[in-house]
Structure 1
Amino acid sequence: MAYIDYPSSYYAASANPAPERPELLGEVETDVCIVGAGYTGLSTALFLLENGFRVIVLEAARVGFGASGRNGGQIVNSYSRDIDVIERSLPAEQARRIGEMAFEGGRILRELVARHGIRCDLKDGGVFAAFTPRQMAHLEAQKKLWERYGHTRLELLDARRIREVVASERYVGGMLDMTGGHIHPLNLALGEAAAVESLGGVIHEQSPAVRIERGANPLVHTPQGRVRAKFVVLAGNAYLGDLVPELAAKSMPCGTQVIATEPLGEELAASLLPQDYCVEDCNYLLDYYRLSADRRLVYGGGVIYGARDPRDIEAIIRPKLLRTFPQLQKVKIDYAWTGNFLLTLSRLPQVGRIGDNLYYSQGCSGHGVTYTHLAGRLLAEALRGQAERFDAFAALPHYPFPGGRLLRVPFTALGAWYYTLRDRLGV
């Protein structure tokens, strides 16, 4: 099998030193076999190890190879569909449970960073930026909604205040969430992997799960080995492929693109984002950006449904960057990369069990940095027999995409076009 290394990106180029973990050879036995060494798999492993489980993690490439090591690095609270949508769609008790968990993932992330001394450039403060009065009204309602669930470190920003936070003329206002923030995402994953190993967990890289024999003690096959376990946790998200057909049928990998500028220098960087907050706008297909520790602007946006890799990422993202910061016209782009996330039709996570011993969480729909850490705790709780919170998510319906797998890309792209048009018209 060909060796799979990290794709070229700013994160891979600036990653903390980390060992290469050995490929799985031969048959081994454990309590829990986790498929995927991203945030979902690693956080699940940490919580299980803390509760006395034996854990083996299988990774097809390298730790954090997928979305966990390529994302925009932003800590954004709640879910891709906010709590008000959940309240309108679900029975009151289920909606309350899910709403109460909307801000837990960010807390878990910070707890893990502190407990295990993870060096990932953690910074506090995230801004939602509004282009229109309609979007600003939405943020005002969102603030009241989140405060109703006890999330209070929020500040509405008028036109003057947002210019003190972001040196762009595009926005009419915004909302600052001081429990939001940003991190070096690959270094977070590498730090969590080291923590897993410090607690006795085993991680095998270059070891894709190619087949699962289901049964009382499922057997997970890799090209050169097998893991027999009491439980299997499927944590591959957009990189799980067709390993479990019933999961692939109701989700869709999507690509998002990110660029990183050359280092801007202290003065220019501070003029763009004086408080070093991260920013995302309020459009349906949103842009997001932040400063790295070495003062590059990391800027992402756009979605490619079906997860094709575009030929020229810079040509897609640089115009977006310059609309936000025209003062960067002459700045060089040092890195450009793409990564996949998993979209569900409802844009809410898909969580559940297959049989008695295959557990899964997938479909963060672009809100993965925080949700995956919550998912790790919920999966560990469920395997310990405390499934009430897990079941609140497991009861969410998993809708198929209209037209099945063949037509899910064009139908979804058409829906995105509709919402993008609404954003542009300000309606």
Structure 2
Amino acid sequence: MANTPYPQSYYAASANPVPERPPLQDDVETDVCVIGAGYTGLSSALFLLENGLRVTVLEAARVGFGASGRNGGQIVNSYSRDIDVIERSVGPKQAQLLGQMAFEGGRIIRERIARYNIQCDLKDGGVFAALSNKQMGHLESQKKLWERFGHTQLELLDQRRIREVVNCDQYVGGMLDMSGGHIHPLNLALGEAAAVESLGGRIHEQSPAVRIERGANPVVHTPQGKVRAKFIIVAGNAYLGNLVPELAAKSMPCGTQVITTEPLGDALAKSLLPQDYCVEDCNYLLDYYRLSGDKRLIFGGGVVYGARDPANIEAIIRPKMLKAFPQLKDVKIDYAWTGNFLLTLSRLPQVGRLGDNIYYSQGCSGHGVTYTHLAGKVLAEALRGQAERFDAFADLPHYPFPGGQLLRTPFSALGAWYYTMRDKLGI
């Protein structure tokens, strides 16, 4: 049987030690079978186990193999489309409920880290950096919007203030969210997996779900075993493949690229980001960066529609890094990798149920670190009969990409080009 290792990323190279988790090789019965050991699956499993259910998690590769273990490691609140966009689409009542949940994921992450003593380099504080006066105006409106939903840990930064937290002359201002922050994302996933096992949950790596036998007592088949469950949670996101064909039609895997420098040393690292906050700019195709626990700069950006792996990641991302920090021109890049996230046409997550007992959440659209932790709680609530919050997500409208799977990539790339040109022209 094939053994899928982690990609050659900084996160994999600096991961905390973990036990072997053997593939499923027999037939088991459980209350809930979770497909995917990323944040959505692990968060769901934890909430279910804490409420007394039996849980088995199947992972096609390794815990956190997908976006959960490859992302920029930034705790960013709300959704890929903000609450005002949701409100215009679905009305004030549904938007009110979704708005109340928009800042919950970060609190769940911190609660998990504290309760289970997860070592993942948690740092508080995230900056949204504006490259134009138009973007600064958007941040001013965003602050008012978020405060309307009770989120008050925000500070607008003028040009002088942002230079105090980001040593970069590109920005006209920004907004600091002290409930944002950053973590080592793979170590967070590994710590959550250990928490699952501490509560009696079972995790099987190298155990891809190859078929779901639907019905009153659904069965998930793997190459060497099967799991019979009362409920199934599908949490594969961009790495689900065609296991559930109806979930593939309204989503598209996309790739993003990340590089990590050699250790910079305390003085140089502090000169770049004096308060050790993470940063993302306000462009449609945004750049994002932060310091690692050992004082490397982790810098990401770019989107490859259709999730192809670029031939030279460093050639794509290093110029972006040097535009922000030209003082790093002689610094060596130690790691470069790509990872996939799942994009929806609305840029909002897709949540729902197939039949009576198969639940799913997917399509974070690049905004998944906090949302996936919230999704786990919402899915667990729904399985236990508390469906109000689940329904608020499930009722969001979703549409297939124009042109179907054949044309979704070029159409999305064309749309991204349009918004990128608007960013560059400041219109």
If the TM-score is normalised by the length of the shorter chain, which range does it land in? over 0.9
Match in the other structure for 1:317: 317
- The alignment yields a C-alpha RMSD, in angstroms, of 0.4
Match in the other structure for 1:152: 152
Report 1:95-244 matches (<5 A): 95-244=95-244
Match in the other structure for 1:39: 39
The alpha-carbon deviation at position 19 of structure 1 amounts to: 1.0
SS of corresponding position for 2:99: helix
SS of corresponding position for 1:327: helix
Amino acid at match of 2:95: A
CA distance in 1, matches of 2:397, 2:362: 13
The alpha-carbon deviation at position 20 of structure 1 amounts to: 1.9
Normalised to the residue count of structure 2, the TM-score between the two structures is 1.00
Match in the other structure for 1:355: 355
Question: Are residue 266 (structure 1) and residue 266 (structure 2) matched?
Answer: yes
SS of corresponding position for 1:346: coil
Match in the other structure for 2:392: 392
SS of corresponding position for 2:322: helix
Question: Are residue 28 (structure 1) and residue 28 (structure 2) matched?
Answer: yes
CA distance in 2, matches of 1:368, 1:149: 20
The alpha-carbon deviation at position 91 of structure 1 amounts to: 2.3
Match in the other structure for 1:90: 90
Match in the other structure for 1:304: 304
CA distance in 2, matches of 1:411, 1:366: 18
CA distance in 2, matches of 1:51, 1:277: 35
Q: Per-residue displacement from partner, 1:11-36 (whole Å, max 9, x unpaired)?
A: 00000000120100121100000000
Match in the other structure for 2:78: 78
The alpha-carbon deviation at position 419 of structure 1 amounts to: 0.2
Amino acid at match of 1:8: Q
Amino acid at match of 2:98: I
SS of corresponding position for 1:412: helix
CA distance in 2, matches of 1:61, 1:357: 25
Q: Structure 2: where are the runs of 5+ without partners?
A: none
CA distance in 1, matches of 2:313, 2:12: 17
Amino acid at match of 1:373: H
Match in the other structure for 2:253: 253
CA distance in 2, matches of 1:356, 1:20: 34
CA distance in 1, matches of 2:109, 2:397: 27
CA distance in 1, matches of 2:91, 2:243: 33
The alpha-carbon deviation at position 174 of structure 1 amounts to: 0.2
CA distance in 2, matches of 1:26, 1:121: 37
Match in the other structure for 2:402: 402
Match in the other structure for 1:379: 379
CA distance in 1, matches of 2:83, 2:67: 24
CA distance in 2, matches of 1:216, 1:386: 20
Question: Are residue 345 (structure 1) and residue 345 (structure 2) matched?
Answer: yes
CA distance in 1, matches of 2:61, 2:7: 10
Normalised to the residue count of structure 1, the TM-score between the two structures is 1.00
The alpha-carbon deviation at position 87 of structure 1 amounts to: 1.0
CA distance in 1, matches of 2:400, 2:263: 44
CA distance in 1, matches of 2:80, 2:192: 24
SS of corresponding position for 1:30: strand
CA distance in 1, matches of 2:175, 2:304: 28
SS of corresponding position for 1:97: helix
Match in the other structure for 1:50: 50
The alpha-carbon deviation at position 340 of structure 1 amounts to: 0.3
SS of corresponding position for 1:98: helix
CA distance in 2, matches of 1:368, 1:340: 12
Q: Per-residue displacement from partner, 1:164-187 (whole Å, max 9, x unpaired)?
A: 010000000000000000000000
Amino acid at match of 2:7: P
CA distance in 2, matches of 1:214, 1:410: 35
The alpha-carbon deviation at position 139 of structure 1 amounts to: 0.1
CA distance in 2, matches of 1:155, 1:99: 20
Question: Are residue 329 (structure 1) and residue 365 (structure 2) matched?
Answer: no
Report percent identity of matched pairs.
82
Match in the other structure for 1:276: 276
Q: Structure 1: where are the runs of 5+ without partners?
A: none
Question: Are residue 16 (structure 1) and residue 16 (structure 2) matched?
Answer: yes
Q: Per-residue displacement from partner, 1:193-226 (whole Å, max 9, x unpaired)?
A: 0000000000000000000010000010000000
The alpha-carbon deviation at position 360 of structure 1 amounts to: 0.1
Amino acid at match of 1:53: L
CA distance in 1, matches of 2:351, 2:398: 9
CA distance in 2, matches of 1:210, 1:312: 32
Match in the other structure for 2:366: 366
CA distance in 1, matches of 2:291, 2:51: 37
Amino acid at match of 2:231: F
CA distance in 2, matches of 1:134, 1:193: 42
Question: Are residue 285 (structure 1) and residue 285 (structure 2) matched?
Answer: yes
The alpha-carbon deviation at position 397 of structure 1 amounts to: 1.4
Match in the other structure for 1:426: 426
SS of corresponding position for 1:343: strand
Amino acid at match of 1:422: R
CA distance in 2, matches of 1:397, 1:201: 34
SS of corresponding position for 1:260: strand
SS of corresponding position for 2:378: helix
CA distance in 1, matches of 2:34, 2:258: 28
CA distance in 1, matches of 2:148, 2:318: 39
Amino acid at match of 1:203: I
Amino acid at match of 1:321: M
CA distance in 1, matches of 2:233, 2:269: 42
Aligned length in residues: 427
Q: Per-residue displacement from partner, 1:331-364 (whole Å, max 9, x unpaired)?
A: 0000000000000000000000000000000000
